[in-house]
Chain A
């Protein structure tokens, strides 16, 4: 993330906690770029408001196109609550309204983050330095 000024001393893992408000003004591809650029730098991204299903689909698609041997092996992603998103009415869908459920999402590099435990109100993850 360009605004961040934390020193990068190579000894630690940076965690970006991104508010729902900040993501609200971005296009789908801007959100995906923001996430993947951070994760490819070895950072962990925590989204306050999660992504819409369409954005999740695009995130997987773009992630796949960027995987390369010995460099980037993909992402680990966890979300809670894991309950289903609220049903959206037909009119809302016809008008293209994509309601993003309020769901906290943790995304990190697959080779550095490992989910140890997850239930309705807890995600426990082990993050290793590369």
Chain B
């Protein structure tokens, strides 16, 4: 890509963001599989619109295609922010249909699930470069955050200059360790929560209004 084309694209992107204040911000919910992205998306959508975004499951890649909940109006501290929530499939660099066979799935269904999952991840990566205004990055606070996918994804988000909030989910579980997540990504604010139990959602909404308003 030439210098002028780069310059033009960059300026277009910056001006698009500056003058798009009236439009709902598209906030992508990203993170590894099974971190609780859909549970969080559903919690936010139910709290503010009464509807869910999509089904939740303990089986990896339950969310195979990005789902969008539009015009979610969140009000906090006298400030109202309207966002479109984009719940994305868990980002990974590998998908093996055989892992689904462990969840009592027939081969045909497992292959279909893996095909849909790979299409969904590819789409989510494309959208991250082109189509989101901010990112909620969800991590499971009971697992090690120092994975290559997390490091890469946070680096990609930073390179796009997107505002990002890191949510340390599943704090209701005994082995949750929020500090480990905060230490892994000290350059970003980490908000602890349990999307399943609804713990600390007040702070979650405060931060969403603050970061994406």
A interface residue numbers (CB < 8 A to B): 52-54, 56-58, 60-65, 67, 69, 73-79, 82, 84-85, 93-96, 98, 110-111, 115, 118
Contacts and interface: CB of A to CB of B under 8 A. Distances in A.
Interface in B175-211: 187
A75 B156 contact: no
B126 A61 contact: yes
Interface string B145-185: 01010011001101111000000000000000000000000
B207 to A, nearest CB: 21
B97 interface: yes
Given A82-B151, A95-B10, A60 B158 contact: no
B156 A56 contact: yes
B113 to A, nearest CB: 11
Interface of B: 1, 3, 5-7, 9-11, 14, 91-97, 111, 114-115, 118-119, 121-122, 125-126, 128-129, 146, 148, 151-152, 155-156, 158-161, 187
B117 to A, nearest CB: 8
A53 B159 contact: yes
B99 to A, nearest CB: 9
A57 B125 contact: yes
Given A56-B155, A57-B125, A57-B129, A96 B1 contact: yes
Contacts of A73: 94-96
Nearest to A66: B118
Contact of A64 (B7, B119, B128): B119
Contacts of B156: 53-54, 56-57
**Majority secondary structure of chain A interface residues (helix, strand, loop or mixed):** mixed
Contact of A60 (B7, B91, B119, B146): B91
Given A53-B156, A110-B96, A61 B125 contact: yes
A106 to B, nearest CB: 10
A67 to B, nearest CB: 5
B93 A60 contact: yes
14 contacts: A57-B156, A61-B125, A64-B119, A64-B122, A73-B96, A74-B93, A74-B96, A77-B148, A78-B148, A93-B10, A96-B5, A96-B7, A110-B93, A110-B96
A96 B10 contact: yes
**Looking at A85, A95, A96, which has the most chain B CB atoms within 10 Å of its CB?**
A96
Contacts of A64: 95, 118-119, 121-122, 125
A69 B125 CA distance: 21
Nearest to B161: A93
Contacts of A94: 7, 10-11, 14
